[in-house]
Amino acid sequence: MASPAASKHVVCLCRDCLAEFDHDIRQCPACGSSRIIFHPELGQLSTAHIDCDAFYAAIEKRDNPELIDKPVLVGGGKRGVVSTACYVARKFGPRSAMPMFKALKMCPHAVVIKPNMAKYAEASRLVRAIFDSVTPVVEPLSLDEAFLDLAGTATLFQRSPAATLAYVAREIERQVRITVSIGLSYNKFLAKIASDLDKPRGFAVIGKADAVARLHDMPITKIPGVGPSLADRLKVDGLFTIADLQAKSEEELTIRYGETGAHLARRARGEDSRAIHNDRESKSVSSETTFDTDVSDAAELRRLLWLQAERVSERLKKNALAGHTVVLKLKTSRFKLVTRSRRLQAPTQLAEMIFRTSEGLLIKEAKGTRYRLIGVGADDLCEAALADPPDLLNDGPRHHAGVEKAMDAVRAKFGRTAIKKGRAVPTK
Ligand code: TTP
Ligand code: MG
């Protein structure tokens, strides 16, 4: 029987009708499909990586059905390399980044198509809209792949993240008419590894219990950041596969390769503590000004900083955003860029908070150096609803929010310059 929706005990899923089960099955009793996923941890995993299959070629095939069964190479142009080969062509050897002449030697009957970036970007937008419909936490890596954090979506959709992913794949096939491969795990590294395991039209799962074993036989180059030169260095030391790394302790690898060694040791054990960052979060709102003549006077720098903080706050409020990190930017008369940042306890959209935080950073830098530019930014953006929570012990934010609201109201009525804080007024 299908288990109750969003049950923690989901171990099996029908990729066609999205029915979930608490036991292993071969064929879906609900729809008869044999596209079944089984994994003991299926109901508990929520970190996904989704990658479109032979992306450019898939779109070309979609738009010209005569190409469906033919080997297709997208690329050529000035650089004369293959951008992608469809799965029919890959059987003969061609791969991305291969010189086109070489690919055509391997597969002389291939159809070569020049890339049409506008078309791929449009398809990418449609795919992205489907991702956005299931979670606010989407981190795209390129036009055709993204990480999705589906934690917390089970209650909303009354189905496991795994079932929501099967839904996403189905919607992409229906709306964009291309296929994707899904990797589901408990961190980004493993989710990305997984999405590549079962291509095309795949769905692979890596859980906590099987991560080390799944990584075991993979070449070390599967670990992002291990390029040809590092791989060569590791080979000299007899390290070829992830199993070779697993056999060494983190200490051993750190002594030999420094921070890189520690990183390799962690990845080899399936460890990755990076969070999925929404690309909207990673944008920032900032404002800066370049002076007519260099300024070294701390009081004057403070005044100029306040004006920028007010601007940033104004833009945050207008866009219903708040920043979790405040960034101070200075450029010296010799064009040296200085940036300092501080993460706040809670996101803010208040000019007062942005100013006080950046002022704290400025004090250390305003010791006589002549500057030609000052700026301030709010980073790690989130929705305004999360900003400046009332703090029971400290009434500061609420008080400032009240003052700023009153000032904003006066400005809305009488114009931007109608009201100023004392610190905005030049001292001389
Ligand atoms: P990939 O996702 O790496 O490849 P792919 O989607 O073609 O195939 P796969 O099924 O293995 O995921 O890259 C996405 C697109 O980016 C690809 O269709 C073409 C482009 N691309 C290049 O232009 N040059 C390259 O070297 C690579 C790797 C990709
Ligand atoms: Mg791809």
Q: What is the mean pLDDT of residues 30-38?
A: 97
Residue 115: pLDDT band by 50, 70, 90 thresholds? Answer: very high
Q: What is the mean pLDDT of residues 395-423?
A: 76
Ligand 1 centroid from CA 190, angstroms: 19
Whether residue 8 is contained in a domain is answered as: yes
Q: What is the mean pLDDT of residues 218-226?
A: 93
| Cβ–ligand 1 contact at 84 (below 6 Å) | yes
Whether residue 279 is contained in a domain is answered as: no
Nearest CA to ligand 1 atom 5: 54
| Cβ–ligand 1 contact at 144 (below 6 Å) | yes
Please identify which residue in the block is written with the tokens 């049409």.
Answer: 116
Q: What is the pLDDT of residue 381?
A: 84
> Are 43 and 117 in a shared domain?
yes
Whether residue 275 is contained in a domain is answered as: no
Residue 117: pLDDT band by 50, 70, 90 thresholds? Answer: very high
Nearest CA to ligand 1 atom 8: 54
DSSP 42: G
Alpha helix ranges (H) inside 202-273: 211-216, 228-236, 242-246, 250-257, 259-268
Ligand 1 centroid from CA 53, angstroms: 8
- At CB < 8 A and 24+ separation, what contacts does 85-91 make? 85/54, 85/57, 85/110, 86/54, 86/57, 86/58, 86/61, 87/53, 87/54, 87/200, 89/57, 90/54
Q: Which residues of 388-404 are buried (b: 16+ CB within 10 A; e: fewer)?
A: beeeeeeeebeebbeeb
Q: What proportion of the chain, given as a percentage, has pLDDT over 90? A: 76
Q: What's the CA gap between 274 and 95, in Å, rounded?
A: 30
Cα first-last separation, the chain: 80
Ligand 1 atom closest to the CA of 145, numbered from 1: 2
Q: Which residue has the higher pLDDT, 393 or 281?
A: 281
Does residue 389 have a pLDDT over 90?
Answer: no
Ligand 2 centroid from CA 196, angstroms: 9
> Which residue in the list 41, 139, 145, 281 is annotated as catalytic?
145
The CATH number of residue 389's host domain is 3.30.1490.100
**Burial of 118 (C-beta count, 10 Å sphere; 0-12/13-18/19+):** exposed
Whether residue 76 is contained in a domain is answered as: yes
Please identify which residue in the block is written with the tokens 């690919």.
Answer: 103
Q: What's the CA gap between 26 and 293, in Å, rounded?
A: 76
The CATH number of residue 171's host domain is 3.30.70.270
Nearest CA to ligand 1 atom 12: 53
Q: What angle do CA 127, 33, 18 make, to 5 degrees?
A: 50
The CATH number of residue 252's host domain is 1.10.150.20
Nearest CA to ligand 1 atom 7: 54
Q: Is 145 among the residues known to form the active site? A: yes
> What are φ and ψ of residue 89, in 5° steps?
-65, -35
Q: What's the CA gap between 360 and 106, in Å, rounded?
A: 63
| Cβ–ligand 1 contact at 200 (below 6 Å) | yes
> Are 114 and 169 in a shared domain?
yes
Take residue 82 and report the two structure tokens written for it: 């293959």
Q: What's the CA gap between 137 and 279, in Å, rounded?
A: 8
> Are 20 and 162 in a shared domain?
yes
> Are 293 and 361 in a shared domain?
yes
Query: Does residue 200 have a cis bond before it (omega within 30 degrees)?
Result: yes
State the DSSP H helix or E strand holding residue 60, giving kind and residue range, or none if neither: helix 55-63
Q: Which of 53, 81, 83 to mutate to test the pocket of ligand 1 (most atoms within 8 A of CB)?
A: 83
Ligand 2 centroid from CA 55, angstroms: 5
Contact in structure between 176 and 123 (CB atoms under 8 Å): yes
> Could you read off the pLDDT of 186-219 as tens digits, one per residue?
999 999 999 999 999 999 999 999 999 999 999 9
> Are 60 and 170 in a shared domain?
yes
Q: Which residues are CB-neighbours of 35 under 8 A, at least 6 positions away? A: 14, 15, 16, 28
> Are 151 and 193 in a shared domain?
yes
Whether residue 53 is contained in a domain is answered as: yes
The number of domains in the chain is 3
Whether residue 395 is contained in a domain is answered as: yes
DSSP 367: S
Ligand 2 centroid from CA 51, angstroms: 5
Q: What's the CA gap between 100 and 341, in Å, rounded?
A: 47
Please identify which residue in the block is written with the tokens 């306040």.
Answer: 306
Residue numbers of the domain that contains 317 = 284-424
> Are 30 and 59 in a shared domain?
yes
Q: Is 347 helix (H, G, I), strand (E, B) or coil?
A: strand
Take residue 257 and report the two structure tokens written for it: 């390769």
> Could you read off the pLDDT of 264-309 as tens digits, one per residue?
999 999 999 888 988 765 578 999 999 999 999 999 999 999 999 9
Q: What is the pLDDT of residue 217?
A: 96
| Cβ–ligand 1 contact at 120 (below 6 Å) | no
Q: Which residue has the higher pLDDT, 313 or 402?
A: 313
Q: What is the pLDDT of residue 391?
A: 55
> Are 87 and 65 in a shared domain?
yes
> Are 39 and 111 in a shared domain?
yes
Rg (CA), the chain: 27
Q: Which of 60, 144, 195 to mutate to test the pocket of ligand 1 (most atoms within 8 A of CB)?
A: 144
> Are 188 and 261 in a shared domain?
no
> Are 346 and 405 in a shared domain?
yes
| Cβ–ligand 1 contact at 51 (below 6 Å) | yes
Residue 428: pLDDT band by 50, 70, 90 thresholds? Answer: low
The alpha carbon of residue 236 and the mean position of all alpha carbons in its chain are separated, in whole angstroms, by 34
Does residue 393 have a pLDDT over 50?
Answer: no
Whether residue 77 is contained in a domain is answered as: yes
The residues facing 321 across adjacent strands are: 383
Q: What is the pLDDT of residue 363?
A: 96
Contact in structure between 100 and 112 (CB atoms under 8 Å): yes
The residues facing 181 across adjacent strands are: 51
Q: What is the pLDDT of residue 394?
A: 56
Domain-ending residue, one of 209, 226, 252: 209
Whether residue 232 is contained in a domain is answered as: yes
> Are 85 and 123 in a shared domain?
yes
